[in-house]
Structures are given as structure tokens and as C-alpha cells.
Amino acid sequence: MHVLLCSACALTSKCTHQGCVVLAAITISTNTTSITAAAVLYRSVALLTQPDSGRLEAYRPPGGPGIRLDSAVTAGNVISRYYDSLLSKVIASAPTFDKAVQRMARALQEFQVRGIKTNIPFMENVLRHPVFLAGAATTGFIETYNKELFKFEGHPNVRANKLLIYLADMVRSDQRAHCCVAGLLGS
């Protein structure tokens, strides 16, 4: 089994979640049967480098074969800075590690969270990192490669978030202008 600290715990180099298992591979054998399986766990938290808070403007979790989601939040919920910033846990399972990583990568691409910053870009960087893909990640992985893992410039989710916020502002401005004009015209 490979064990990594999640991004929240990596900041302090201490686990606050009773063990941040990010990846597990297991083989169970009997005299006649052998079963091999792998899983990748992702904790979606409201942070990039520090806890974030605010209203979830949009929240669409991933799904599909081999994806399990543990979550209780919905769009419109307010994430307070006074409570745990955990939004959800996503578990991708498959017969092999490579397939579990592919499923998790797909799940993270499908995950839509707007209104607060999350650690999705961080986890996507972890899933693309050659040391992680080789199965050679250790508990020192995040500390060793933090410059690469915490690099988010040009990340598609960051760009998309900025674009959506801009478009939402434009729509609100247009609606306000429309309401003002309608009020002036007596409509």
C-alpha cells in the first residue's frame, strides 16, 4: 500500500484525518482464485494553500463506473471558515492502479465547483506526476515535489472559473441595466 498525506495535511506534515490514504493496491489470493484491485481516494476540500470559505455557486460531483462519492453539500451551501473545509471524498476503484488513476483523472475533470477554491488542481498535478504514476510515491512525496504539485498557473479549472465569474458579472450587470431601463419606461 502507498500512503500519502493529503494536501491539507501536507501543509503541516501531520495527518489530521486519521491517515490520508490516497492510493491502495491489494491482491487477495486463495488456492483457486486471485483478485487484484486498486483504488485512489481524493478528499475535495475548500482550499488551495489555505482554507477557503464562501457560497458554493455551482456544485456538480462526478460519477460513473468505479467512482464512489461521499458528500453532503449542494449548490447554494455556505462553506464556513469555522468548520472543516471537506466538501466530499471521491474514491476511484479499478482492477489496476493505472485504470484507477485514469478513472480518478476523469472524475476530477467532471467535478464542477464554483464559488470557492478547491484542491482539484493539486490532485490533478499529483495524478500526472511521473513518481506517482510509477507507484513510487512515499510519505515525503508532497514535500519533495511541492513546487511542481502546487503550480496552478494556466490550469484549465482556474481559467474556467475566472471566465465563468466574468460572464456571471456581465449577466448581472445586463439584468440590472434592463431593470433600470424597464423602470424608466414604465414597463
Per-residue pLDDT of the chain (187 residues; tens, 9 = 90+): 444 445 455 444 444 443 344 555 566 666 666 666 777 777 777 665 566 888 888 889 999 999 998 888 888 899 888 877 788 888 888 888 889 899 999 999 998 888 888 888 888 999 999 998 888 888 888 889 988 888 877 665 555 666 666 666 676 666 555 555 455 555 5
- Specify whether 87 is located in the same domain as 36: yes
- State the helix-helix crossing angle for 120-128 and 97-110, rounded to 10 degrees: 150
Residue 19 has what pLDDT?
Answer: 37
Shared domain check, 132 and 73 = yes
Whether residue 140 sits in one domain with residue 110: yes
Domain count, the chain: 2
Domain extent, residue 178, equals: 153-187
Asked if 46 and 62 sit in the same domain, the reply is yes
What CATH code is carried by the domain that includes residue 55?
Answer: 3.30.470.20
Which triple of cell numbers denotes residue 46?
475548500
Q: Are residues 124 and 157 in the same domain?
A: no
> In which element (H, E) is residue 28 found?
strand 23-29
In a domain, 2, yes or no: no
Note the pLDDT tens digit of each residue in 43-59. Answer: 777 665 566 888 888 88
Q: What is the pTM of this model?
A: 0.67
Instruction: Classify residue 59 as exposed, middle or buried by CB count within 10 Å of its CB (0-12, 13-18, 19+).
Output: buried
Angle at 56 between CA 152 and CA 7, to 5 degrees: 40
How far, in Å, CA of 142 to CA of 68, rounded?
25
| CA dihedral (177, 58, 105, 158) positive or negative | positive
- Give the tens place of pLDDT for each residue, 118-134: 888 888 999 999 998 88
One domain, residues 184 and 105: no
On whether both 73 and 26 belong to a single domain, the answer is yes
